[in-house]
Amino acid sequence: MTNPAENRYATIVAGAGPAGVLAAMHASDRGPVLLADSSSLPRSKSCGGMLHELSLETLRPYGEIPESIVSAPRTVHFRYNDWDRRIERTTDLAFLNVSRSGFDDWLVGLLPDTVEIAERAALTGFTQDDAGVTVDLRTPEGIRTVSADLLIGADGARSQVRRTLGIRDSASYVTLQDFVELDGDIEPVFDCIYMRDIGDEFGYAYVVPKGDVAIVGSVFYPRTKRPWEKQDRVIELLRERIPQLGPSRERESAAALYLRSPKDILHGSGRVLLAGEAGGFMSPTSGEGISYALRTGRDAGLAAAGSPATALARYTELTAPVVSDIRRRFRWLPLMESRAGKYLAGFVPTPIVSRVTMGL
Ligand SMILES: Cc1cc2nc3c(=O)[nH]c(=O)nc-3n(C[C@H](O)[C@H](O)[C@H](O)COP(=O)(O)OP(=O)(O)OC[C@H]3O[C@@H](n4cnc5c(N)ncnc54)[C@H](O)[C@@H]3O)c2cc1C
């Protein structure tokens, strides 16, 4: 027989990404936390591994980022490219280049002992009332039922917590990333490339040097047909201009939020808080999401460390600066996605492109 006390926590967090780890860390100030992730840890998350200054600033109180997770070249500057109009603008926007799996693993290692980690434990559903939440986790041993005063859903772009709340899922971009072998050095920049050759379903491609490989990624609009074939074509075109790009070692696919309006942002409901991509927190213009996951995860954890009855209100208050930052970015979206916006970019001097990019 299971001991009911063993299955009762102060807070349950679903998802051990950056949002879930910081949420669990701070929530543990009020009592035991269960951090459940559907994957085995360390997990593998499809990502460029570019840490924005906002991520670095948020991480400062938690210690130094270990050198062992930093990739070469250490710093990369964002470069805007429009191949159709032969525009190239290297900006002042700089990122720390890291191994994403190393970064996620380092974060998990910061957790105190009061956080119990359950790997391969997928939240399949939950119920809630005024006293708290009861959560079902699918584990290799069968369904485990656990309860807590609060649940924090930090389970990413396809959040099961969000869906169980009855809130519609946002549409998702389709992203593909290849790890391409390098035959010689490429420029130490984070290239973002717009081109029409791939068709209207294609958003943009990016190239990031990462040690002895380059990550070559493409972002396609929701419901793109045959994205794998389109990614083959993207790589072919890139190889014509960047001959150092060799064969692909590996390809991965993922979903990224396709945010259309501030209505896509949701803090949660009752005893359930949503953090990171699960709550719609990321940059709608650049796709940068780690800094939003870190900040909202931290805020959800701080709110959960106080009274459970007022946690959602407190969380909404704490995340006000992040929400106004996302709202501001939404204003740029129509211009960025339009042909006119891309056309105008051709006439804007580099220092202005640089300044605008800093805010996207
Ligand atoms: C191709 C690609 C490249 C990107 N590159 C960058 C970049 O360079 N820089 C940047 O800042 N951002 C980047 N992003 C965005 C960034 O990766 C995300 O915004 C960030 O990881 C969100 O963190 P999170 O904690 O909210 O969710 P995630 O990191 O997605 O973590 C969610 C976790 O929840 C777990 N989970 C899912 N369902 C369940 C369930 N039912 N029960 C329990 N656990 C569950 C998953 O296994 C996962 O571990 C990129 C995204 C993509 C797709």
Q: Per the structure block, which two tokens stand in for 89?
A: 């603008």
Task: Count other C-beta atoms under 10 Å from residue 41's C-beta.
Answer: 15
359 pLDDT above the threshold of 80:
no
Pick the residue whose CA is nearest to atom 3 on ligand 1: 47
The dihedral sign for the CA sequence 181, 77, 219, 98:
positive
Q: Per the structure block, which two tokens stand in for 228?
A: 């794998």
Atom of ligand 1 nearest to the CA of 256: 53
Atom of ligand 1 nearest to the CA of 275: 26
What is the Å distance from ligand 1's center to 105 Cα?
13
CA–CA separation, 97 vs 71, rounded Å?
A: 5
CA–CA separation, 23 vs 297, rounded Å?
A: 4
Q: Which is more confidently placed, 260 or 55? A: 55
Pick the residue whose CA is nearest to atom 33 on ligand 1: 15
Pick the residue whose CA is nearest to atom 52 on ligand 1: 47
**Mind listing the pLDDT tens digit for each residue in 336-356?**
776 666 666 666 666 666 666
Band (4; pLDDT cuts 50, 70, 90)? low
Using most ligand atoms within 8 A of CB, pick from 59, 290, 322, 360 the residue to mutate for ligand 1.
Answer: 290
The whole-angstrom distance between residue 124's C-alpha and the CA centroid of its chain comes to 21
Band (1; pLDDT cuts 50, 70, 90)? very low
Among residues 39, 43, 32, the alpha carbon closest in space to that of 113 is found at: 32
What phi and psi, each to the nearest 5 degrees, are found at residue 119?
-85, 165
Stretch 287-296: mean pLDDT, rounded?
96
Band (134; pLDDT cuts 50, 70, 90)? very high
Q: Where are the chain's structural domains? A: 4-44+103-170+259-330, 50-102+172-258+344-358
What is the Å distance from ligand 1's center to 233 Cα?
26
299 pLDDT above the threshold of 80:
yes
What is the Å distance from ligand 1's center to 209 Cα?
21
**Mind listing the pLDDT tens digit for each residue in 316-325?**
999 999 999 9
CB within 8 Å of 53: residues ≥ 6 apart: 94
Looking at 84-88, 181-185, 342-346, which range is the least confident one? 342-346
Q: Hey, which bits of the chain come out as E strands?
A: 8-14, 33-36, 50-51, 70-82, 87-98, 115-118, 122-129, 132-139, 142-153, 172-182, 189-194, 202-210, 213-220, 245-257, 268-269, 272-274
**Mind listing the pLDDT tens digit for each residue in 235-257?**
999 999 999 999 999 999 999 99
What is the Å distance from ligand 1's center to 252 Cα?
14
CB 162 within 8 A of CB 170: no
Q: Report DSSP state, residue 64.
A: P
Stretch 133-153: mean pLDDT, rounded?
98
Among residues 275, 251, 288, 279, the alpha carbon closest in space to that of 46 is found at: 251
Using most ligand atoms within 8 A of CB, pick from 12, 44, 45 the residue to mutate for ligand 1.
Answer: 45
Could you confirm whether domain 4-44+103-170+259-330 is CATH 3.50.50.60? yes
Stretch 50-62: mean pLDDT, rounded?
97
**Mind listing the pLDDT tens digit for each residue in 185-242?**
999 999 999 998 899 899 999 999 999 999 999 999 999 999 999 999 999 999 999 9
Could you confirm whether domain 50-102+172-258+344-358 is CATH 3.30.9.10? yes
Among residues 112, 119, 125, the alpha carbon closest in space to that of 153 is found at: 125
- Pocket (CB within 6 angstroms of ligand 1): 14-20, 36-39, 43, 45-50, 52, 122-123, 154-156, 160, 175, 177, 217, 254, 256, 276-278, 282, 287-290, 293
Q: Per the structure block, which two tokens stand in for 75?
A: 């710093």
pLDDT value of position 346: 61
CA–CA separation, 255 vs 172, rounded Å?
A: 6
